[in-house]
Amino acid sequence: MPGHAPAPRAAVVDWLRTPRPAADPGIWRFGHRPRAAVEPDQVPARRLFAGAIIALLSGWLFWSLLWNGYLGDYWIWPLLVLTPDAWMADGRTFSIVSGLYYAAVGGGLLVFCARLGHVSEIWHRYAGRGRRQAPPRPRTPDADPVEWPELRTAGLTDAAHLLTEATRAGALGDVDYARIRTAWHSARSRPELLASFADSVRARGAGACVHPSGARDLPRRTAVHDLATGQVRIGTAVDDPRNPYPRRTTGVALDPALLGTSLLAVGPSGVGKSDRLVRPVVESLCLLALANRAAVVAVTAQGAGLAPDDAFDLVIALGRAGATHDLDLYGGADDPDEAARTLAEALIGDLAAGLPGGESGRAATALAQLIGPYRSVHGRFPAVPELRELLGGVPAVIDGLREALRRQAGPGAAAQLRELDARERQAARADDVGVLLAERIAFLDRPAFAPFFRTDGTGRQFSLRAVEHPLRVRIDLPERGHAEASRIIARLVLAQFAEAALARTDRSLFAALVLDDAMAAVTPDAVRAIQRLRSANAGVVLALRTLEEVPESLRGPLLGAVGCRMAFAGLAPWDGNRFAEAWGTEWVQTRDVTNRQILSDEPLTKAMHLMRRLVTGKAVTAEAVTVREVERARWSASDLAHQVPAGHAVLSLTTVRGEHAPPLLVDLRG
């Protein structure tokens, strides 16, 4: 794969001028050439070549008969009638004229036989397959994107001239183009920003409106991107009868309009979920973040190599010594109830599907009854060790908190004191959820996490509420030594992301969360949140080894909550059955053909049948055709389990506007 796209940067001119026609969801639009809506009825290759050879041989035979006079000399009468006597008297002139006449007759006969034998179809089918066109270039400056016509129309001629010169010189890259166009659209919709936009372009040229990090590109790329449309190419639709004819051999790409409905990818380990899907998507979102179009949070295991550190603004390596940033345990929330709700989801969300109906709500209430009074006294939420003591009901800690609340004045302190008393009464019950919460929070109260989840203001904390800004963040989970803690953190990040994305006031940025392993992150609350994200210009990408990692009651709702579904090769039959149910059935036309060989005793008929058999390779038969409409699964569980080749996947797509593409067999290699 190229290190940069387009490469070299001087090729940005050609990249900008390449057409990107409107296309169905998921089609790679860069240089796309639409295919016919219906598959043409092509003649089989053997019959096509046999017909062409027979037509040309027949033409050669006919020309030989004409030339040698076996068919008379009437065919040269036009030559004798139309040639002047003076030319006929001059032998040299007549030789030239007659040669031209013979060439015209022979050429016409050749063209006739070529058309009769469909030679042009052979040429287009085989010889013309590898030809490429130079993309058409706009003829007028008003239609040439290199000239920045929108800026010229708005009167910013000097800014447009600077950007045009930078584009032609190769100083402006594809990220620069996407970033400046984003800034221009913002300035056009808000006139008060127009002057600052123009000043930035005049001062910095191609570096105008740069990302807060100052980066104008990623250090390296592993996928093919088109930042003019925001697409990343992940594969090619296979030329297979299962795929609709217009989609065969077309590029398959993802963009925010598709990821905004969220994507679920299922496939066993080693089939390429990370390398062929997650990594290109994360790379694309990082490029869009540099163009001030997106914010991305990628969650992966430490050492997974999802993307290099220098491709992100922040790398939060929980449990690793020397980490520079910490994760806010409460997601930047100020409301104790909101903070308790996301924390309860992280601690026992995976058990909610098997617990009584109100257990999740009871857990959130129990946490709020403790962290609310603590915050009222200390001005901050408790850290992990302090929260563990509160949940464990340590007498000294509870009594100290109660005395501090009694010393405070005002109705707020009295309300918090009632909350603490209610928690103490509930803790006396045998079925108190606080015991379970204390057991779960203990997984985070380990020496490896001592420098993390601090709430005293020390250190540099990252809150998921920062997705209002074009940030690139990677969170590394310590799965090897702290598997249960990693699962809790993954649920915490997903819950906080959903809260932050839905609470944004400015939703112009596309917010994305990518979970390289979502095994423990799928909970009832998470499924409900995923359904709401598409209206908030946000989405999640979830990768699973099998749907068996999800509780039985959530497998169907999860497939229904996401708009994009991807089944990789090697899928288990029971997982394939879930996808087959989600993709439903379709009406197809089937043809039952019954052949009956025709036998004849006539010598001439036998000879004709023999000639036809030599040409077509088939015996002469009479066909009886029965056409029926039947309903069948788009992809059956057996097909998904056994008919998807290695390096391939079956992908269905839906946009946030409701446009959709049927399940496609996609080649992800290369």
Strand partners for 404? none
List the alpha helices (DSSP H) in 68-153: 77-82, 85-89, 91-116, 119-122, 149-153
At residue 287, what is the residue type? L
When pLDDT is cut at 50, 70 and 90, the band that residue 8 belongs to is very low
When pLDDT is cut at 50, 70 and 90, the band that residue 625 belongs to is confident
Q: For the segment 62-84, what is each residue's pLDDT rounded down to a tens digit? A: 888 888 888 888 888 888 888 88
Neighbours of 46 (CB within 10 A): 12
State the residue for tokens 């062929």.
276
C-alpha span between 260 and 519 (Å, rounded): 21
Asked if 117 and 56 count as a contact pair (C-beta separation under 8 A), the reply is yes
At the fourth CATH level, the homologous superfamily of domain 228-325+460-581+649-666 is P-loop containing nucleotide triphosphate hydrolases (3.40.50.300)
C-alpha span between 40 and 430 (Å, rounded): 73
Q: Is the pLDDT of residue 360 over 90?
A: no
Report pLDDT for 2. 43
Q: For the segment 386-434, what is each residue's pLDDT rounded down to a tens digit? A: 999 999 999 999 999 999 999 887 778 899 999 999 999 998 888 889 9
495: tokens are: 């819950």
Quick one: which of 468, 461, 175 has its CA closest to 295? 468
C-alpha span between 534 and 538 (Å, rounded): 6
Listed by start position, the domains of the chain span 45-117, 228-325+460-581+649-666, 336-448, 587-632
Question: What is residue 621's three-state secondary structure?
Answer: strand
Question: What is residue 299's three-state secondary structure?
Answer: strand
Quick one: which of 335, 348, 450 has its CA closest to 391? 348
Chain mean pLDDT for the chain = 88
Cα 657-662-664 angle, rounded to 5 deg: 125
Q: For the segment 184-209, what is each residue's pLDDT rounded down to a tens digit? A: 999 998 888 899 999 999 999 999 99
Percent helix, strand, coil in the chain, to 5, is 50, 15, 35
Neighbours of 641 (CB within 10 A): 19
Report pLDDT for 129. 55
Q: For the segment 90-109, what is each residue's pLDDT rounded down to a tens digit? A: 888 888 988 899 999 999 99
What mean pLDDT comes out for the span 142-159? 88
C-alpha span between 257 and 510 (Å, rounded): 9
Neighbours of 57 (CB within 10 A): 12
The contacts of residue 378 (CB under 8 Å, 6+ apart) are none
> What percent of the chain shows pLDDT beyond 90?
59
In this predicted model, which residue has the larger pLDDT, 494 or 46? Answer: 494
When pLDDT is cut at 50, 70 and 90, the band that residue 622 belongs to is confident
At residue 670, what is the residue type? G
C-alpha span between 319 and 396 (Å, rounded): 30
Asked if 593 and 623 count as a contact pair (C-beta separation under 8 A), the reply is yes
